[in-house]
Chains A and B, each alone.
Chain A
Amino acid sequence: MPLLSAKDREYVRDFFNKELQGKVELVLFLPAKAEEARASRENPYLPQMLELMQELTGLSPKLALRVVRPDTDPEVFALYGVPLGAYPVLALLGEGGVDYGIRFYGIPAGYEFRTLMDDLVDVSRGHSRLKPETIRQLADLKTDLDFQVFVTPTCPYCPKAVRLAHQFALESPHIRADMIEATEFSELANQFNVYGVPKTVINQGAQEIEGAVPEEMFLEAALAAAAETG
């Protein structure tokens, strides 16, 4: 049975048809084939992630899915900075394979499905919907920043934080932004003492943001992290 209902499929198809401009490649990082059965027992979302991405990319000719695995494509993991043991991870590449640094660690399910849809639109257009002043300040950024936004799929406040981080990544070549589904990546969540979401960690803790905050505060934290990191 498909994950998306017939009604939702139609809605998404229509939405993509109207909103997508350029092509987007979805690169899905999965475990080695031989590992898959064990990995799926540990993370029951794993098979659904593949299924969902197949269904989604089938809804628009502008979307393409590429599945990579550590045993057959280790160089792709290296190229996009995805640790070999991390899965499922999704990267969105714009027209001509441009990597904006947008990543999903874990399934974009529940509320985060909408985040993925809006991200796909932005990536297909090559620009975000941030305020002009934010975009201007991000363009001046010279320091590499790594955003990790911890979420759960049942958190209605979380998409706002993920969307901001992903749009920041889109606007600045120095920013990489990972959505991290905390129940699937519980070791990472423990490492950063995540007991509430959304929680955004910049540069391994140079700055931390608890909760969904306005664009200006997100930018402030990013600039502060950049100043601290030097």
Chain B
Amino acid sequence: MLELGSLIESNDGWRLPAGEAGGNGGDGDATHYDVAVIGGGPAGLSAALYTARAGLRTIVLDKSPYAGALGLTDKIENYPGVPGPVRGVDLLKTMRDQALSFGAVYIQETVLSADGRTTPKEIITASRTIRAERLIVATGSLGRVASLPGEERLLGRGVSYCATCDGAFFTGQPVAVVGENEEAVEEALFLTRFARKVHFIVKGHTVRASAELTAELREHPRVTWHERTRVKEILGDTRVEGIRILPSGGSEEILPVKGVFVYLQGNRPILDFFQGDVPELTPEGYVKVNEEMETSFPGVFAVGDLTGKRVRQAVLAAADGVLAALAVERQLRGREKIRAAW
């Protein structure tokens, strides 16, 4: 049983984000912006740089700098103007700092839901509701659909994607976390509050998260770290009974867990926060945009890998962001034509 005290702590109080009925908006308000950008990859940060420099109140909401395609790249040596090789996260930091220097606000939080049909657009994270006149979506295409054997069948029956939501159901029981990014590490640490044992299963020999966080997890007394290990199947009939894994160079083994929390990445556009109400897609499943990067939802723009380019390069994603930013500026300032900004 959760204690209310811990709830208040973990939720930073009886959170009162602006709800459906409106609430606090208007100038000088930390919940109301001209432009909200979801995703802090090259596409999102370039858009923010331009809108902030144009004097538009801009906020970037980013799950984690480690979670995007550029963030997971070790060596970039073809980003013009930046002699490499440079780590993706370092290049992102340069871009972020540049956007911030023009007044953009950056918040590292996952967007859980966004309503693209209304204006202002409403964007919700775990701890705040943001309203913005225009929305630029730049979440990349590392999303996935359930693909582990047993995963889809046992979803809601022990398979979960949200430890904060479902952790309490596994109090005193063994669970497994499958993943290799910061989110997986954070969620695994959260689960140690409830679960008797947390098996952390990672395909490589390390995770993409800060060294401190990773060390905290690895050293936790209730955590067993399984590296260079593949998940073969999630087992169970009507609910999860175990997970079959294959450690590299070893032999298959079954861990008797009651819950499996999955945080893997794939190659589908990330649009889950639209909660089923997504803008029009291309036949390949990417977001359809016009030449100004606007989607079928007026005032909602999509940029970068989300738009399913034939060539995926950081500089092209960044260029998309610029196009969207200029279109947003034109719409909000009521200009007829895009003015070259320099």
Contact = CB atoms under 8 A, between A and B. Distances in A.
A53 interface: no
A103 interface: no
A69 interface: no
Interface residues of B, number: 44
A107 B21 CA distance: 22
Interface stretch (B12-20, B65-73, B141-149): B12-20
B11 A110 contact: yes
Contacts of A129: 20
B13 A44 contact: no
A111 B15 CA distance: 7
A195 B15 contact: no
Contacts of A195: 156-158, 160, 166, 169-170, 239-240, 259
A214 B21 contact: no
B238 interface: yes
A48 to B, nearest CB: 5
A12 interface: yes
B21 A15 contact: yes
A118 B165 contact: no
Contacts of B113: 157, 160, 212
Most A CB atoms within 10 A — which of B22, B165, B259?
Answer: B165
A143 B330 CA distance: 51
Contacts, number: 125
Contacts of A163: 20
A213 B156 contact: no
Nearest to B6: A154
Contacts of B30: none
A110 B155 contact: no
Contacts of A4: 14
Given A154-B11, A155-B164, A210 B156 contact: yes
Contacts of B7: 109-110, 153-154
Given A44-B1, A155-B162, A182 B20 contact: no
B126 interface: yes
**Most central of B16, B17, B259 by chain A CB within 10 Å:** B16
Interface string A156-192: 1110100100000000000000000011000001000
B4 to A, nearest CB: 5
A26 interface: no
B175 to A, nearest CB: 11
The 6 closest A-B pairs by CB, nearest first: A155-B165, A214-B276, A210-B156, A196-B156, A154-B164, A121-B21
Interface of A: 3-5, 8, 11-12, 15, 18-19, 43-45, 48, 107, 109-111, 113-114, 117-118, 121, 129, 152-158, 160, 163, 182-183, 189, 193-197, 199, 210-214, 216-217
